[in-house]
A and B are shown apart, each in its own frame.
Chain A
């Protein structure tokens, strides 16, 4: 605990707030001028100051910290909205309460926004497992009762595709400085039929996190972290039975989350499969674009499933891994010092240093997902013996969207977009990327390593961590998932069949993959093959 640092940050926040109030008191027009003319140095200062709340090493931030950050980042809102402009307006915001993150943070962030604008926000908090069913039921039964929604890009097919969203006004684009988004989050992601709907608040990809103390001269895992899945498996087998250098407990190699997770668990098999299956010549790697025929039972995917089965059979996973929640694998196992490597979203990186749970902050290293030494060309139906890397841009990140419930009411519409834009602001996003929030970097400006160093991060750590994210985002052969309706149904049923396969109820990896493919065909037929083909092609930009 560093109470000293925290106190300093808190004091600075106070003076800053008083300054802002002073500016606001001068009146709308003057305030706006003040904002526009705000020197760049002041903004840098603000960014540096919010990063000090509560400070790296000061434990997980609390509600008071979120409110403070929200208050300090109100600048762009004040430029577009007069004080009290939304008095009397009530909005409903639906999002996740993901382990006291997401919505819980938003509540803190938006409290000062509510105080300033006079609007009131009602919250719908959903557990992650309830999110998808609730959204689908609301759409199907016409019970959409929210004005603002936190939603992942994969659901754009379900919502924007059905005309349920409100297109983003241009002033919002300016306020959130959307040009700053990294390339892969630029349109077509977030757009539908050429209209923009999404305020991005998160960038998602899986990257490799590994323990540096497992590798090096004389270390148990070999000279360095393997770069290919074939070698990752060999490493896992090799460290079995050894002792973890940090905790003194039994050592384990790569951690595959094997249990279902309402669809999210399938991403971890994708991490392995994309290296074998995502051929640089085609963006498609889950379905054949012309027929929606599943590719999941082609030799590449079968190889990925086989890799996991091999490790399972060899006992290379911790006990009960087959029933360990993916979240537990990442946050209770890897961060707590069990296992040499894991592929996960980027929040493992920020949590490694700031979360109360983590003990590996000093020994964790990052890289893009492992590749494979050969790649399967689905069109040609043959393996090619060339090295292949294909980072899995899993889930494409969370965004904030506004529903068409507010489209008819200009004041309400502006209020909804203003609230959403506050959460997607450039400065606040830096804080969210740096502290436990459930979100990871998604703007080019997040990759300014000096800011992180100033906040107390170790320069080498940050370059390593952020670099792996940036390299995945910008990878030419990145695997992008389809934004088609019901995509999580496909993942969920695949999880069920995989669980059976891993439990040994199918004869082989091929049989498991065939069962998944058969189940996927059923879903495609049920949702409608023609419309799925059209949407799939659109989402791949074909």
Chain B
């Protein structure tokens, strides 16, 4: 068969342009993916290095160096030590559970309180004393600006008097306070993007405001709530300053343990890497599973 259709010159030029465009896009994507992922890869591989491997700056396991469970051994999480009783592992797991309980509880609480407030602010006009809606919004958001140092000593004293020091509930309350503004900010945009006709129709059908909110609005706003929840989780999971200040034995969380990997002996890169990695693993899992909700959730209210 002879070729009947010949690409014209303009077509070819178009093709070439399209092709270079593709190359540029994928090149840029790959470059940034590398920038974003390499440190995480570096952390993971470092946790399997021995001192000479670290000093050599070895990059690729099995090629540059022989992986060793050194970092995980120090946590009692390597194959050799997993069977033995380990005080370090017990400590790690205890803190892990505390971090989990505290960050999840605080985030859920913040999303509940924040969604309610954001809905109210997006639908009704209030007047508390001299404050109108925009003032109330700013009042909430200003909490986000508050430097933690201002609250440190007052909270220490307050919590001592209320017997909330070193308690999970104490940290949960405080963390809820710190992430509430960001939840309100996100959810306000969410609700603003949902047309009020939906609820009006429901109200005509005889539902109360709360009924309409719970059955009509919430399901639509769910992706936004998941997005807010994930952001809250990230912020509370990694919080260090108050965790170091207000906990001691029963409610202590992981970030303080990560920070403890340094000291007068320099730093053991392998155990630092292992601990860092174990600490970010839950967030990575969450990121992979729930990622699409974040975009979806933020999209709803993004463009008014």
Contacts and interface: CB of A to CB of B under 8 A. Distances in A.
* A contacts B directly (C-beta below 8 A): yes
Interface of A: 60, 62-64, 66-67, 92, 94, 96-102, 104, 107-108, 111, 122-130, 134, 137, 141-143, 145-146, 264, 325, 327-328, 330-332, 335-337, 345, 347, 351, 355-359, 436, 438
A111 B156 contact: no
Given A63-B81, A145-B166, A98 B264 contact: yes
B76 A63 contact: yes
B244 A130 contact: yes
Interface string B252-271: 10001101111111111001
Q: Which of A92, A99, A330 has the most CB of B within 10 A?
A: A99
Interface in B223-253: 244-245, 248-250, 252
A7 to B, nearest CB: 14
A67 B233 CA distance: 37
Nearest to A128: B263
A357 B51 contact: yes
Given A94-B248, A143-B160, A125 B266 contact: no
Contact of A357 (B86, B248, B266): B266
Given A64-B84, A134-B244, A356-B50, A127 B263 contact: yes
Given A124-B252, A125-B256, 4 more contacts: A94-B248, A107-B91, A123-B249, A141-B157
A137 B268 contact: no
Given A108-B87, A141-B156, A356 B263 contact: no
A66 B51 CA distance: 22
B261 A100 contact: yes
Given A64-B81, A99-B260, A127-B263, A145 B248 contact: yes
A403 to B, nearest CB: 13
B302 to A, nearest CB: 40
16 contacts: A62-B76, A63-B76, A63-B84, A92-B249, A96-B260, A99-B268, A100-B74, A100-B261, A126-B244, A134-B245, A141-B156, A145-B165, A327-B263, A331-B265, A357-B266, A438-B265
B55 interface: yes
B153 interface: yes
A192 B139 CA distance: 51
B52 A127 contact: no
8 closest residue pairs by CB, A with B: A331-B266, A98-B263, A97-B260, A122-B249, A327-B266, A124-B248, A107-B87, A127-B259
B55 A143 contact: no
B88 A122 contact: no
B73 interface: yes
B118 interface: no
B180 interface: no
A137 B156 contact: yes
A128 B157 contact: no
Contacts of B88: 63, 100, 104, 107
Contacts of B55: 336-337, 359
A99 B91 contact: no
Contact of A137 (B166, B245, B264): B245
A347 B263 CA distance: 13
A342 to B, nearest CB: 12
A96 B256 CA distance: 11
A155 B159 CA distance: 25
Contacts of A128: 260, 262-264
B125 to A, nearest CB: 43
A141 B159 CA distance: 11
A101 B268 CA distance: 11
Nearest to A140: B153
A129 B259 contact: yes
A436 B86 contact: no
Contact of B153 (A63, A129, A141, A332): A141
B108 interface: no
A101 B263 contact: yes
B165 A127 contact: no
B70 interface: yes
A130 B157 contact: no
Interface of B: 50-52, 55, 70, 73-74, 76, 81, 84-89, 91, 153, 156-157, 160, 165-166, 244-245, 248-250, 252, 256-257, 259-268, 271
Contacts of A325: 262, 266-267
B265 A436 contact: yes
A328 B261 CA distance: 13
Contact of A62 (B73, B262, B265): B73
A127 B261 CA distance: 8
A327 B261 CA distance: 12
Contact of B265 (A67, A98, A124, A129): A98
B253 to A, nearest CB: 11
Nearest to A264: B264
A357 B49 CA distance: 11
Nearest to A332: B266
Nearest to B275: A100
Contacts of A347: 264-265
A123 B252 CA distance: 10
B1 to A, nearest CB: 67
A100 B165 CA distance: 25
A145 B264 CA distance: 25
A475 B265 CA distance: 26
Contact of A328 (B85, B256, B267): B267
Contact of A63 (B51, B86, B165): B86
A538 B278 CA distance: 49
B84 A123 contact: no
A351 B265 contact: yes
A517 to B, nearest CB: 27
Contacts of A67: 85, 87
B141 to A, nearest CB: 29
Contacts of A99: 260-268, 271
Contacts of B265: 98-99, 101, 327, 330-331, 347, 351, 436, 438
Contacts of A127: 244, 256, 259-260, 262-263
